[in-house]
């Protein structure tokens, strides 16, 4: 890829079993799985699921493990395997590595925001005057400490263990972005809740993105993002002086997503204001997906008057990340 000598990839469209993202109950169950990636069975923060998903096992929760964590949920006949990936925890064993992954994946250039961030940057690709070295970024993203690489190994193991099963990926925030990146890597359905924009990270990782079709300008990936518009994080709006993300040391600057996005308009429907406190997965589960609306009231109305319980999944067209930055080969290669 560095020498621009890789051959063009030929794509064949394959139909597979995937979650029905137009069904509110299905989305709520997947969101509960995403929430359970933060806990273990028996804890107060564990969400009960339909009996179909009573079989589960943990990944990355052994002892004092401080990295990639999640749960696997199995249907009764093992026909469906769901890997749920944990997102960022502000305080806990994984917090340090969570922040490292956030700042590497979702910042424009190694979490270089300004001179005050010189001790927060996660790689050395900044080349002054809002210029960033592409080759350096690609190399930084293949470090062993990146959760994406650990996820590749875990998905590979799941495919080997369950060769005839349909494997789905879900997650919230950082976990949702990882689910999307892994789903794009393996061509597996992924549903991400309240996740920062991961399209830029996918390009830097040189993931095999299918070409856009006549209906979709962005790369057509098997990913569905689900978020509400009172959460600034998936919209790339938790930035700048005084923002809670920047104050906590997180450079969450990207906003463009892979696949399609289902956006719940909680600002209009509920009168919510933009607030990072609306980001936790419990807000999505209890106050959006499982909220009791008035009879006959939905989230959208089609042209034919049909009331929809779930907004239409749409492609994010004309979305641009890091518009004030220049990316190119600005640093001399190491000898």
Q: Known catalytic residues?
A: 173
Query: Which string of b and e fits 249-274 if b means at least 16 CB within 10 Å?
Result: ebbbbbbbbbbbbbbbebeebeebee
Rounded Cα distance between 189 and 53, Å, is 18
* Full DSSP string of 226-282: EEETT-STTTT-S-STT-HHHHTT--------SSEEEEE-HHHHH-PPP-GGG-SHH
Residue found under tokens 């049909």: 306
Q: C-alpha 58: how far from its chain's center?
A: 20
Rounded to 5, what percent of the chain is helix, strand, coil? Answer: 25, 15, 55
Instruction: At 182, list the tokens.
Output: 């892994």
CA distances from 27 to 33, 62, 290, 310, 311 (A): 10, 29, 10, 9, 12
């Amino acid at each position: 890829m560095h020498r621009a000598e890789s051959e063009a990839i030929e794509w064949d469209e394959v139909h597979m079993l995937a979650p029905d993202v137009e069904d509110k109950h299905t989305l709520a169950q997947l969101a509960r799985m995403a929430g359970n990636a933060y806990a273990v069975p028996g804890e107060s923060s564990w969400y009960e699921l339909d009996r179909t998903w009573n079989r589960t096992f943990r990944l990355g929760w052994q002892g004092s493990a401080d990295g990639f964590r999640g749960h696997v949920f199995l249907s009764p006949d093992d026909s469906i395997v769901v890997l749920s990936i944990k997102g960022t925890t502000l305080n806990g064993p994984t917090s340090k590595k969570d922040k490292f992954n956030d700042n590497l994946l979702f910042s424009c250039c190694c979490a270089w925001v300004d001179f005050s961030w010189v001790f927060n940057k996660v790689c050395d690709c900044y080349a002054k005057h809002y210029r960033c070295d592409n080759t350096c970024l690609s190399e930084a993203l293949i470090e062993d400490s990146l959760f994406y690489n650990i996820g590749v190994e875990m998905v590979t193991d799941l495919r080997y263990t369950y060769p005839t099963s349909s494997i789905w990926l879900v997650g919230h925030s950082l976990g949702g972005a990882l689910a999307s990146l892994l789903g794009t890597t393996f061509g597996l359905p992924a549903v991400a809740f309240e996740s920062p924009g991961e399209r830029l990270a996918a390009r830097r990782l040189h993931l095999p993105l299918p070409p856009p079709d006549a209906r979709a300008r962005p790369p057509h990936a098997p990913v569905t993002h689900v978020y509400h518009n009172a959460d600034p994080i998936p919209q790339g709006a938790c930035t700048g002086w005084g923002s809670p993300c920047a104050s906590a040391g997180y450079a969450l600057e990207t906003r463009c997503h892979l696949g399609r996005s289902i956006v719940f308009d909680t600002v209009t429907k509920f009168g919510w204001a933009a607030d990072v406190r609306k980001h936790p997965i419990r807000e999505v589960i209890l106050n959006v997906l499982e909220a009791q609306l008035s009879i006959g009231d939905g989230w959208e109305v089609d042209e034919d008057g049909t009331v929809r319980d779930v907004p239409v999944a749409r492609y994010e067209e004309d979305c641009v990340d890091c518009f004030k930055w220049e990316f190119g080969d600005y640093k001399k290669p190491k000898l």
